[in-house]
Structure 1
């Protein structure tokens, strides 16, 4: 095998089982490890989720525990300067699979509590991996739409509620992962009721998205952040639409009369986002017609909403379930 092919093989193996040398250079050993990871996920009992698989759990574990194949210990310095050791998934792919298991085994309130309990650098990972999945829970969406804060540009005076406020049932009910475009992908039809989650790092503009048909055809993009939001650029929006065109059949035609909503979900400990996020030109001295069209679309058809996850909101979810 050439060095180039060997490099690709090793990279693929690391994506699935983590950067552990003993498991990534030999195909048979890698497959055995991958099978062990699958078995470890299946072997987890519901009582385990609150201990080791909460993206920041502090429980000690032993040699026979399946979590050895799924999580690693990371060192972190708190804001007060204290040294702590926390559990984190070995790699992003395993982290996504753990999040899928958490979503299936736990109710919305417990998922949200896990996010709030995560600390420091792990809080952003918890918010991204678990925060996306709670959008599949009807009680969460019903409560969320009442708390959304619409962010409008100065020239837009008329408020517009989210499509989810009118259509509570428009939330997704299952997830589909979007693999990396490099090497080519097979286009699929756009489906409502599906939460699309990119399986690639640095996916442009959003962390996940879904489509709603009623009361208006809308792409709902989800941004999970612990930091104060920053403005976007025409190149980022262009990259996002190019990705959608590569993933979905007929994107160019179906997107013409489609509005966008972007919901920014923030951790309680982050700086609140209170202002409209602009779409800035990359080069103001040499504006292309394409860039002008993107900014016009952003200013005219994109609606932005902000939501801060707090303990009071989580308690509200608990009260809804008790009724």
Structure 2
């Protein structure tokens, strides 16, 4: 099962705030959406403020700890190999199920959210010029591009400036 998407989290927020005013519901969703942008779609980290703060600190520490000697541990990002469960980098990725050519089901390791992905790619490029993470992520553009389009399409059609 893939991580919950934005609509799933929005439904959870609506359920949590069902007995509150509309303004409180909007504020709660805005806060949870910001949490989701920072740590990814992980319900235990989105809805619990203490776990959210801990996860943000863990992510900062992991990203700061990346150097040329351990950049090889991040080779699974964008790949289909098994992720070692005893290593800190697993907090930065999610496994996404996808259907490849010929209707074969496969799994790919991708950054848990866009903001972590961009920070991770930037950090890996800083410490290791020969890192091929961009190549691996481009291989899965058929998975990533629809996700980006899904995020932006509704906003594009609702914006008067787009037309």
Q: Quick check: TM above 0.5?
A: yes
Provide structure 2 residue ranges, at least 5 long, that are not aligned to the other structure: 1-19, 154-159
Structure 1 residues 83 and 17, CA gap change in structure 2 (3 angstroms) = same
Which residue matches 2:94? 72
Partner of 1:23: 45
When Rg is computed on C-alpha atoms for both structures, the one with the higher figure is 1
> Using a 3 Å threshold, how does the CA distance of structure 1 residues 59 and 43 change in structure 2: closer, same or farther?
farther
CA distance in 2, matches of 1:71, 1:111: 13
Structure 1 22/105 Cα, relative in aligned 2: closer, same or farther at 3 Å? Answer: same
Instruction: Report the counterpart of residue 126 of structure 2 in structure 1.
Output: 104
1:64 alignment partner, SS class: coil
Query: CA RMSD of the aligned region, Å?
Result: 3.0
- 2:53 and 2:111 map into 1 onto residues whose CA distance is 19
Quick one: distance in 1 between partners of 2:131 and 2:63?
22
Could you state the TM-score of these two structures normalised by the residue count of structure 2?
Answer: 0.64
Paired residues of 1:78 and 1:84 also in contact (CA < 8 A): yes
> Secondary structure of the residue that 2:108 maps to in structure 1?
strand
Alignment equivalent of 1:58, drawn from 80, 86, 108? 80
The equivalent residue for 1:202 is 152
Greater percentage in helix: 2
How far is 1:115 from its partner? 5.1
State how 1:118-137 maps to structure 2 within 5 Å.
118-119=139-140, 121-122=142-143, 124=145
Map of 2:5 onto structure 1: none
Mean alpha-carbon deviation: is it higher for 3-12 or for 102-111?
102-111
The total of aligned residue pairs comes to 129
Structure 1 gap ranges (5+) = 129-200, 204-233, 237-281, 283-323
* CA–CA distance in structure 1, aligned partners of residues 117 and 111 of structure 2: 5
Structure 1 residue 47 and structure 2 residue 69: aligned?
Answer: no
Per-residue CA deviation, residues 165-190 of structure 1 (Å, 9 max, x unaligned), is xxxxxxxxxxxxxxxxxxxxxxxxxx
Q: Distance in 1 between matches of 2:80 and 2:48?
A: 33
Higher relative contact order (CA 8 A, sep 6+): 2
Larger strand fraction of residues = 1
The aligned runs of 1:259-274 (5 Å cut-off) are none
Equivalent residue runs for 1:214-293 within 5 Å = 235-236=161-162, 282=163
In 2: Cα distance, 1:92 partner to 1:123 partner: 10
- Partners of 2:105 and 2:125 in 1: CA distance: 30
| Partner Cα distance (1:80, 1:102) in 2 | 33
| Distance across 1 between alignment mates of 2:132 and 2:101 | 26
Q: Distance in 2 between matches of 1:115 and 1:22?
A: 27
**1:261 aligns to what?**
none
Question: Alpha-carbon deviation of 1:235?
Answer: 3.8
In structure 2, the residue corresponding to 1:61 is in which secondary structure?
A: coil
Give the alignment's TM-score, normalised by structure 1: 0.35
> What residue in structure 2 maps to residue 34 of structure 1?
56
Is residue 83 from structure 1 mapped to residue 105 from structure 2 by the alignment? yes
| Structure 1 residues 63 and 108, CA gap change in structure 2 (3 angstroms) | closer
- What CA distance in whole angstroms lies between the structure 1 residues aligned with 2:39 and 2:137? 24
